[in-house]
Amino acid sequence: MNKVIVLCKRPVGKPALDDFKTNIEDVPSADDGEVLLKTTYVSVDPYLRGRMNDSESYIPPFELDKPIQSGIIAEVIDSNNTRFKVGDFVLGNLFWKEYQVSDGKDLRVIPKDPAYLTAYLGVLGMTGLTAYLGLTEIGLPKPGKTLVVSGAAGAVGSIVGQVGKLLGCKVIGLTGSDEKVHLLTSKFHFDAAINYKTAADLSGAIKAACPDGVDIYFDNVGGKISDDVLNNINKHARIPLCGAISLYNDADPVLGPYIQPVLVKKSALIQGFIVGDFADQFAEATKQLTSWLMDGKLTYHETIYEGFDRIPQAFLGLFDGSNEGKMIVKI
């Protein structure tokens, strides 16, 4: 008995549980050169929403009635591939299946240390690299600069803020609950955080928190929140644009004021990116993140749902802000 979660219809607007369906298949067996994997931890990430649309993006759309794919940690339970032995834990872009086989080409064996196993889906994985490289390569942080982060309590945002602090910036986070405000300032060392849902005047609150203006804006959300940050940017502001989660679930394009005038006025730069744009720098960045993590200078938070069947629910939770830090499903 092998459960497999497929996309059974394309979400229109906000995804719902009935966009997903669980099929039952046989547990496959490993052919020559293959390994049989048992899924242990599943990463759910906002970018998956884009792959659920039938439109061109930086990666092809998911196919209907085919299993969804995301970052997964799995245990090798049978191996006909000399690179892997039974009991190894591997990281890969794998399917939402309890069991699956792989030729091992895109799998990486990760240390078995249970204290850090899930870190490879977060701070030591794509999430950490996205945060670190987006901030350092596009934002160009320097001591004394003011950095604002939206989606600050999310997987990427919470690392961006800490890296900003480690590099000498003043860091202000924008987030969606008072609990998260507390988390940002107490656990992640942000200088200040603002609950954008309860701020009567978000632009004014950002101004008050950033008396010297905003030099770097690491944007995970887009939309109205970003307009309020743009009201406060300094000359030559730099804006790494990592995502636009506030806009992903709208069937029709959301309208807002054109941002070209403020970009001209401030000689500001916005650069959209995905982590793959900086593949040349993965090794060096991973080394830096690992070193900070081991030295206790970088911490991370996870929201862990339990049970294979709850993967879709965990994914939907990303759009309600149900997660603090990295959203992961433990199988």
Q: Does 251 bind a copy of itself (CB under 8 A)?
A: no
Residue (104 or 134) nearer to a copy of itself, CB: 134
Spacing of C-alpha 170 from chain mean position: 22
Q: Which parts of 96-204 are beta strand (E)?
A: 99-102, 108-110, 146-149, 170-175, 192-195
Upper half-sphere CA count for residue 308 (Cβ side, 13 Å)? 19
Measured CA to CA, the distance from residue 64 to residue 67 in angstroms comes to 8
Contact indicator for 181, 175 with CB cutoff of 8 Å: yes
Q: Does 204 bind a copy of itself (CB under 8 A)?
A: no
- Of 158, 148, 199, whose CA–CA distance to 177 is shortest? 199
* Window contacting a copy of itself (CB under 8 A); options: 60-68, 78-86, 171-179, 246-254: 246-254
What mask of x and - would describe binding to a copy of itself in positions 256 to 295, judged by CB under 8 A?
Answer: xxxxxxxxxxxxxxxxxxx--x------------------
Find the binder of a copy of itself among 66, 85, 112, 236 (CB under 8 A).
Answer: 236
What mask of x and - would describe binding to a copy of itself in positions 61 to 100, judged by CB under 8 A?
Answer: ----------------------------------------
Residue (185 or 203) nearer to a copy of itself, CB: 203
Burial of 240 (0-12, 13-18, 19+ CB in 10 A): buried
Find the binder of a copy of itself among 173, 176, 222, 325 (CB under 8 A).
Answer: 222
Measured CA to CA, the distance from residue 41 to residue 36 in angstroms comes to 16
Residue (210 or 329) nearer to a copy of itself, CB: 210
Burial of 269 (0-12, 13-18, 19+ CB in 10 A): middle
Burial of 257 (0-12, 13-18, 19+ CB in 10 A): exposed
Contact indicator for 326, 320 with CB cutoff of 8 Å: no
The minimum distance between CB 164 and a copy of itself, in angstroms, equals 20
Q: Given phi > 0 = left and psi -120 to 50 = alpha, else beta, which region is 239?
A: beta
Amino acid 120 reads Y
The minimum distance between CB 222 and a copy of itself, in angstroms, equals 3
State which H helix or E strand residue 217 sits in: strand 214-218
Contact indicator for 41, 72 with CB cutoff of 8 Å: yes
Q: Does 146 bind a copy of itself (CB under 8 A)?
A: no
The minimum distance between CB 219 and a copy of itself, in angstroms, equals 7
Q: Does 235 bind a copy of itself (CB under 8 A)?
A: yes
The minimum distance between CB 50 and a copy of itself, in angstroms, equals 7
Residue count, binding to a copy of itself (CB under 8 A) = 38
* Window contacting a copy of itself (CB under 8 A); options: 35-43, 107-115, 152-160, 219-227: 219-227
Measured CA to CA, the distance from residue 218 to residue 160 in angstroms comes to 8
Residue (58 or 108) nearer to a copy of itself, CB: 58
The minimum distance between CB 49 and a copy of itself, in angstroms, equals 11
The minimum distance between CB 61 and a copy of itself, in angstroms, equals 12
Q: Please list every residue from 43 through 62 that binds a copy of itself, using CB under 8 A.
A: 50, 57-58
Footprint of a copy of itself (CB under 8 A): 50, 57-58, 219, 222-223, 226, 235-236, 241-244, 247-248, 253-274, 277
